[in-house]
Amino acid sequence: MQGSRWKLVTSVLISLGIFILAILNRAWIGEAFGLLDQAKPGWLGVAFVVIGLSYLVSSQVFHVVLHSLGYRMSLLRLWATALVAIVISQSLPAGGVGSYAFLMSNFTRRGVSPGEAALLASFETLSYAVAMLIVFSFSLFFLAAHDLVTGRASYIAALVGLCLIGAAIFLLTRRATTLRHWLISLKNGLARLLGQQWGDAWINRIITDIDRGRGLFVSRRRDVILLVFIQLIALSGHSLAMLLVLYSLGVQTSLPAVLAAFGVALITSTFNVLPGGGGTVEAALVAVLTQVGIGPAAVPAAIIFRLFNFWLLAPVAAACYHWLMHETVTPLHGGTGRDACVSTGANGVSTPPPTSLSPACAAQTNPATHDAPRPPATGQH
């Protein structure tokens, strides 16, 4: 709860900073909104359709995992499930937890065992996180290359980005015991410096989540790669919609430039837990698009895109949630019917069985002691 309060305070400060910047640049923003009169409705309509199709692509992550477990679910319900999960993750301070809880409830009420439902939610979270990092890495390389071409090379920014990615890869490939030792040592040092006393429970949760994600990736590498590819197509679809919005305003640019802006916006949104990112996504889009030479049209384009991408779809997601959670359902066909897709290993770390996805899990745990994966504690979709 204390961590959530700090995240909320930080998010409010970020949004307040964006609001102050908007006030200071109100003349430029007013000029930018004047470009809305030039928007072509046809391009905007196509952009909105592309966003809807991108959510449909995202839903195929559930389809692939359900199919491997022997279940079948209609395309419309899959689309509605993906839409609700993503909107929840962007709407609540603990969006990842809310999205996870919705997925668990939605699938278990359709006859999917809790262990299999947890596996579905874990694969969706893991594949999205990997895809987001890939797009962000592309953003760093693209922006560095763009600065080199335009003679405004930002070597320091590129170096910092590469160091951060390299450090993340280094840490994520260390053993769980090593990571735990490092984090506890860091925590104890800070506690002595600040005169505080902190427990180790939160460190154990972090290590458990990291180890579970690594276990899923290592034991089912091919499946995870396929799911990451699906997520990349979905994120590229949203970027294409942003490109179409720019076309509607008479701006000609490239898909890589828009994808670079979207990658930065995805990462920055994870630091703001306010609904819709609290303006962080829009600010990041405007900043990067301006950097690559879009000009004043970046402001209305970013706002229109977020209206299509999130705000206008929020009521649709609410209607889908009511439908999914209140309709009379019959159990999905197929499935193992066993709550054994995740087993608990040493140190209480939950890991998947060392086999590829299949209707039968390789490891069967005692239902009385089964430890299903927990939802991600932070982050937004």
What local confidence, expressed as pLDDT, does residue 339 receive? 40
Return the higher-pLDDT residue of 339 and 235. 235
Buried b (16+ CB within 10 A) or exposed e, 159-169: eebeeeeeeee
Most confident of 27-36, 38-47, 230-239, 321-330: 230-239
- pLDDT of 355 higher than 60: no
| Alpha carbon distance 88, 78 (integer Å) | 15
Cross-strand bridge partners of residue 350: 344
Tokens, residue 181 = 């030792």
- The amino acid that residue 256 corresponds to is P
- pLDDT of 296 higher than 70: yes
Q: Please state, as a whole number, how many other Cβ atoms lie within 10 Å of the Cβ of residue 255.
A: 12
Return the higher-pLDDT residue of 297 and 172. 297
Cross-strand bridge partners of residue 176: none
What local confidence, expressed as pLDDT, does residue 80 receive? 93
Cross-strand bridge partners of residue 343: 351
Phi–psi pair at 175, nearest 5 degrees = -65, 155
- pLDDT of 277 higher than 50: yes
Q: Please state, as a whole number, how many other Cβ atoms lie within 10 Å of the Cβ of residue 141.
A: 13
Return the higher-pLDDT residue of 379 and 231. 231
What local confidence, expressed as pLDDT, does residue 82 receive? 94
| Alpha carbon distance 243, 253 (integer Å) | 7
Q: What is the pLDDT of residues 93-148, one digit of tens each?
A: 555 677 888 888 889 888 888 878 888 888 888 888 889 888 988 888 888 777 64
The rounded mean pLDDT for the chain is: 73
Q: What is the pLDDT of residues 156-165, one digit of tens each?
A: 555 655 666 6
When pLDDT is cut at 50, 70 and 90, the band that residue 29 belongs to is low
The per-residue DSSP string of 3-56 comes to HHHHHHHHHHHHHHHHHHHHHHTHHHHHHHHGGGGG--HHHHHHHHHHHHHHHH
Mean pLDDT along residues 338-367:
40
Phi–psi pair at 364, nearest 5 degrees = -115, 125
% residues pLDDT > 90 (the chain): 15
Rounded (to 5) percent helix, strand, coil in the chain: 75, 0, 25
% residues pLDDT > 70 (the chain): 64
What local confidence, expressed as pLDDT, does residue 105 receive? 86
- The amino acid that residue 212 corresponds to is R
Q: Of 16-30, 168-182, 307-321, which range is least confident?
A: 16-30
Q: What is the pLDDT of residues 215-230, one digit of tens each?
A: 656 666 788 889 999 9
DSSP type of residue 279: G
Tokens, residue 114 = 């809790």
**pTM of the predicted model, to two decimals?**
0.69
Mean pLDDT along residues 297-305:
85
| Alpha carbon distance 317, 377 (integer Å) | 22
Mean pLDDT along residues 69-89:
90
Q: What is the pLDDT of residues 232-271, one digit of tens each?
A: 999 999 999 999 999 988 888 899 999 999 988 888 777 6
